[in-house]
Chain A
């Protein structure tokens, strides 16, 4: 909404503050001037940004009222602008108006003007419209728009000769058709409110006037309407029919109940001024008392100055908010104050401020007009302990460990496609109004988001990626959604083969190393198997992670189908870990053990095994031995010969290193020889053949 300062000043004859200062003073009091431009009519054009609760200030008079309160100035009454001609009225009956929907229409004013000549708007209207860039239509319509911009009250002009009988404000008949001013034709429902005559609907009340009864160049006689409609009803109709108009904007936020007769008067006067003709009969003003009681005639609310002070605290000048200031500010805003006791008042609320309902609303008004920045900066006194989240340390350990092994933290969208939810989570919870089909589900796992991020990088020729994400995952149903903290890891490119890991397997083992590094920070025994792997993991290329025997996640290479679906040519390993479980698990507590004073003895064993014998089986046999002096068992090198020469196809050679050490004594050659023999025997029994 735009404000012309020239127009604004017409209501504030005593104002001697320049436009720039006024813009700043208004802004600091919540009537924000976002932009300041030179206006063609002189003065400035302010681009305003006013919060939705202050619909009363979205017009020239409303802003003028704020300025009057800030500068302690008198405000010119709306109906008696300087130089306004006295309106002559010809005797006649009041136009018949009947409010049938008394719960939805609180007030309806109507007045008849006869003998008009409709032409373009002239004078101050044309001048202001030019400066505001407002499109002129015809003088009577321009007058209603002028009235709207002046005081924020929507009004309407009818071609009187199109009205059959009198005005009836009623609910629409279901299926009733109505052609609107914009040319569109609407089918109404029984909840819509219409302004009708005795025969037909004339317009959609509070939203838009009708086509048939619009004012045209041929119009000779005019009926001026200004009314008050129920906010919820107008909002519902406006949404139902997809019509957001200036009028609906105002009515659905609560118009000024007492503005209707004032606006009718203003518009009538200006129409006669612009189009000639004469006013016939009195202003008809039908009021529904029950709705007046809820708006203009609301009961006064109590206000105590001590409450103002309790909420607002100390001012920068140290004087605090005095009773005199409270009274001055509220009266300037249109409140009526009656003193009821020591520092206590009954406050009659202005009809245009439906946002004011309670004492706290008045306290806010006092703070606002005083100026927020004139309050002191104080700190509340504090007693009580600061509590850490119970799992804050675990969360920090997850992050620092993964960063330490080279993973960068990522954050991805909460939403995935239905396909992704099915593949990675076995279903999920759908959104009712998703932004797109690709983001229609709450993620049941962080894995699909990780796949998307890996693809994002690979498609931009970033071929080496190490990412992790820690975030919420959603399971359950649309009736009850369960949230857990999930963790994903994504690895692609740049893995290095080692003495144990072939080039083509290195990516998997790097991910495994990261998972091990992470889980080793927590209490519990970590193990891996290849059971129950999901379909997104390529067959034979993934593992399940267990902590104390319970599954806490899976990881593995994305299946060929998933790679193809993302147009990827490079292997990607993704891990999906139940971080919730880790957050609830105690961190491993370091315990120091006495170091042995005796020498450790290393023995290497070189064996050839069939591929079917996994390292875990070999390690298991040695661990199962429970020999106290067996300190360490390490696979040092694994070798396969693609040509099948040095090692036959289907077999691999393993160099195994075993360390013996006693805590009590120096080991003898004899016992080491005995142990070595035992090891050779066991490995042979597993199907291994010792190499020369």
Chain B
């Protein structure tokens, strides 16, 4: 390249000179035979590049007062060439550079929520919006919290229904202190009432265990959400209204509830609650065994014996026995999260929930 000797360092002359260089670079980019690497060497090469030559020839010979004007134009040209190099492949319409938009995208996908965790959070959320605080308790419990205070007397047949897994080496201890895997989340009711005076509104999610052989609908490990509402003048119709409202909030406003007498040692009256089948709307289908109803939860008015056990223990702890059964009443309810999740997502085998199987879990992403 021959660098013309400049004699006129006026702005107009410099503009013309750099304008010509700019145009030259632009044309070579638009050339059919454009080659990125030779273009780069041609202009930016450290030894023979045009910009190097220009800077050598021009900046050295220019009078000091022109150096700033040259420098500005030189830098602008250099920047333009660098930009062209960077985005050159986006400037023309070469079809060889077209993307295959049907190829899958790169990068790891966001992980999936576990259906149990998600369902449990949704249920808890419904009750939080109804004014319930969240309560938690340990998974290893004493016989006192899991049974005795909940009105399961020692040797009572009702204990048989719970199939308890017990911690080893408890034989030498008093029954009420023996450790076991909690069979339900209800012990947290007792723990909460020992700590707090009424009014109380709690929603209690958690993992529970039973000595049940695993099959498609049973697992020794499963999850419950428990609820407790205690205050003056809490009635059975409040229990009905609360659960009816909660089921509508969770499953949709078209859902109906109905209540059946049932038996739990720690509630009286006790009830099982069915909801109208969420699959057929109550007309009867395979899912609801043609009945139009699905059994969903157990509930009842807190048995006065439970309040009395709480009062007794509060006295032992040096606290006021504030659960006066002549003034205070309450209701409690509990539901199996696994069953609800299985129903909601059409899961046929409870074991899948505890398998860590990616093929199963990724469906919930």
Contact = CB atoms under 8 A, between A and B. Distances in A.
Nearest to B359: A462
B32 to A, nearest CB: 36
B86 interface: no
Contact of B168 (A236, A315, A358, A430): A430
Interface string B256-286: 0011111100001111000000000000000
B151 to A, nearest CB: 11
Interface stretch (B8-16, B104-112, B316-324): B104-112
B240 A375 contact: yes
Of the candidates A52, A408, A478, the one having the most CB atoms from chain B within 10 angstroms of its own CB is: A408
A403 B166 contact: no
Contact of A372 (B214, B271, B354): B271
Contacts of A411: 114, 116-117, 353-354
A483 B140 contact: yes
A380 B207 contact: no
A310 interface: yes
A409 B354 contact: no
A656 interface: no
B268 A361 contact: yes
Of the candidates A28, A410, A467, the one having the most CB atoms from chain B within 10 angstroms of its own CB is: A410
B234 interface: yes
A481 interface: yes
A380 B238 contact: yes
Of the candidates A32, A53, A252, A392, the one having the most CB atoms from chain B within 10 angstroms of its own CB is: A53
Contacts of A236: 155
Interface stretch (B46-54, B72-80, B90-98, B241-249): B241-249
Contacts of B84: none
Interface string B134-169: 101011100000000000000101100100011111
A312 B199 contact: no
A360 interface: yes
Interface string B181-220: 1000000000000000001010000010101011000001
B134 A388 contact: yes
Contacts of A415: 220-221
A368 interface: yes
Given A377-B241, A414-B181, A466 B134 contact: no
A28 B274 CA distance: 11
A379 B238 contact: yes
The secondary-structure label for the interface of chain B is mixed
B133 interface: yes
A624 interface: no
Of the candidates A252, A377, A404, A468, the one having the most CB atoms from chain B within 10 angstroms of its own CB is: A377
Interface in B312-365: 329, 353-359, 361-362, 365
Contacts of A384: 131, 199, 201
A474 B237 contact: no
Contacts of B155: 232, 235-236
Contacts of B131: 382, 384, 386
B290 interface: no
B356 A412 contact: yes
Contacts of A452: 356
A403 B112 contact: yes
A412 B207 CA distance: 11
Nearest to A476: B140
Given A377-B240, A386-B128, A386-B133, A52 B235 contact: no
Contacts of B271: 372
A479 B263 contact: no
Contact of B111 (A383, A460, A468): A468
Contacts of B245: 377, 379
18 contacts: A51-B263, A253-B157, A363-B268, A364-B261, A377-B237, A399-B113, A404-B110, A406-B110, A407-B111, A411-B116, A432-B167, A434-B165, A435-B214, A462-B358, A466-B111, A471-B207, A474-B139, A478-B179
Interface of A: 27-30, 32, 51-54, 232, 235-236, 252-253, 310-315, 358, 360-361, 363-364, 367-368, 372-373, 375-380, 382-384, 386-389, 392, 399, 402-415, 429-435, 439, 442, 449-450, 452-454, 456-457, 460, 462, 464-469, 471-472, 474, 478-479, 481, 483, 490
Shortest 8 CB-CB distances between A and B: which pairs?
A: A313-B235, A30-B261, A453-B356, A313-B237, A406-B108, A377-B241, A51-B263, A372-B259
